[in-house]
A and B are shown apart, each in its own frame.
Chain A
Amino acid sequence: MALDIVKVDSVREAAATIAASGDAYFLAGGTILARVANTGGFPVRTMVLSDGLGLDAIAVDGDTIEIGAAATMTRIAAEPRLAFLRPVAESIGGPAIRNMATVGGNLFARYPYGDFAVALLALDAEVTIEDAEKTRTTGLDDFLASAPAGGIVRALRFKLPPDGAFRFTKVVRKHPHGASVLSIAAVLPETGGKVSNARVAYGAMSERPMRAKAVEGALEGRALDAQTLENALKVATDGCQPQTDPQATDWYRMTVLPVHLKRLLSGEGRF
């Protein structure tokens, strides 16, 4: 089926074009949307190109990082100030996918994808969205919890975590890069030997990337010792509703999550 490819001059024009049509979508890397167009998963008649809109910048202001929505995984992996996010970006597909896949597109990825969004959730990122009339900013938690409300994601903003506080693990069957059995990202800042403001997020443990709030609660204000770990693991799967797909069954995901969470929290394994 013929597809209309539209090039626009501004993000606002992109948002307005999409809002005015029922079957127009924003085309970032296309690693999800072009697949849909090729297979007719849902009707796509128009694609509005992200090209030339200046959405791919990465800016640092003090300890605040702003990543443009069209920044690719390759860009993230090459950015020295984002070295801690390199394992996340490099876990997403082979080199061609990483050259195409964007941070913004990752927020819309369907199960079990969305590994970068999992990291951004742990980083307490804010999302800036521009629609046909205004620009608004919202927490990524709320953004992911609500159905896509329209508008173009311009950027993701977060504070650099303290050195060594960010941890990430992704469990795959197809090596070196596969879709997630599950992924876990955590920011575990410590003050005076105690965890403060812990944030833990899971991928592929529910329909969208999710916070593990019970685990965060179990860690808060405590030293990361054996007792704390035991308390956290007891509530590891609270709120999880994984699915069964070619990577793993829902049962398997529920069963192995605590194993991987334990490794991540105790500092074993890869992150």
Chain B
Amino acid sequence: MARVPVVFTVNGTEAAEFVEPGAMLSDVLRDKLDLTGTRVGCSQGTCGACTVMIDGELILSCLTPAQRVNGKSVVTIEGVATNGELDPIQQAFATGFATQCGFCTSGMIVAAKALLDANPDPSRDEVVDAISGNICRCTGYEPIINAILSAAAERRVAKSA
């Protein structure tokens, strides 16, 4: 089957590629665009490692054909920092031991960003819900939940400054 063109914005930059028909966005991000921060753990929708944002909504890139993203705007883990400055969420993960092997971390941080962008002052239960589609086999989740709560506080301070 002939390759098909896809054109979309990724982390603010236009991406235009010819891809295998039906290729999932996760594969295009990793193999074509070299954005390997997005992980593929299961290709089944169950681990959340491939989580990205499409037009501001949290989506699983392993279940999204790239052709579906034509004309849309994608944010991956590589787009979470601003001008080389880590987002408070990334900082909190690093300082709060919320990342060990790191496999789940990109998906966790993107899920946390989607939460905090919409809800700057979440409750603990809301944080648990926000990462409930993301599996971590290392940390036991507590450090991740705490990191997101402290990043939320940090972001609120930064906003009011």
Least Cβ–Cβ distance between A53 and chain B, in angstroms: 13
In the complex, B114 has a CB within 8 A of chain A: yes
Alpha-carbon distance between A95 and B111 when the two chains are bound, in angstroms: 8
CB-contact partner of B21 in A5, A27, A38, A96, under 8 A = A5
| Residues on the A chain within 8 Å of B67, using CB | 5
Residue in B45, B59, B65, B129 whose Cβ sees the most chain A Cβ within 10 Å: B45
Does more than half of chain A's interface fall in helix, strand or loop, or is it mixed? mixed
CB of B38 within 8 Å of the partner chain: no
Pick from A10-18, A29-37, A191-199, A220-228 the stretch touching chain B: A29-37
Flag if B64 contacts A176 (CB, 8 Å).
no
Interface segment, one of B81-89, B130-138, B153-161 = B130-138
Chain B at the A interface: SS class: mixed
Task: Report chain A residues within 8 Å CB of B59.
Answer: 96, 99-100
Name A38's closest neighbour in chain B (CB-CB): B43
Contact residues in A for B68 (Cβ distance below 8 Å): 5, 27, 49, 51
* Contact across chains for A176 and B22 when beta carbons are under 8 A apart: no
- What is the size category of the interface that chain B forms with chain A? 20 to 34
Contact present for A96 and B48 (CB under 8 Å): yes
Judge whether A146 is part of the interface by a CB distance below 8 angstroms: no
- Asked whether any CB of chain B lies closer than 8 Å to the CB of A97, the reply is yes
* Nearest CB in chain A to that of B20: its residue: A2
B21 touches A4 (CB 8 A): yes
**Interface residue ranges of B81-128 to A (CB < 8 Å):** 111, 114-115, 125, 128
Nearest A residue to B26, CB-CB: A38
Q: Does A39 contact B (CB under 8 A)?
A: yes
From A1, A35, A90, contact of B45 by CB (8 A): A35
Given A3-B65, A96-B111, A100-B63, A38-B24 contact (CB < 8 Å): yes
Write out the residue numbers on chain A whose beta carbons fall within 8 Å of the beta carbon of B65.
Answer: 3, 5, 27, 30, 34, 47
A4-B22, A39-B43 known; A176-B51 Cβ under 8 A: no
- B64, A38: Cβ atoms closer than 8 Å: no
CA distance A1 to B24 in the complex (A): 12
Q: A190 to B114: give the CA distance in the assembly, Å.
A: 42
Across the interface, do A30 and B128 meet the contact criterion of CB distance under 8 Å?
A: no
A100, B60: Cβ atoms closer than 8 Å: yes
State the 5 A-B residue pairs at the shortest beta-carbon distance, nearest first: A94-B133, A3-B22, A34-B63, A2-B1, A94-B132
Residues of B in contact with A (beta carbons under 8 Å apart): 1, 4, 20-22, 24, 43-45, 48, 51, 57-60, 62-65, 67-68, 111, 114-115, 125, 128-134
A binding-site residues for B, Cβ under 8 Å: 1-5, 27, 29-31, 34-35, 37-39, 47, 49, 51, 74, 90, 93-97, 99-100, 176-177
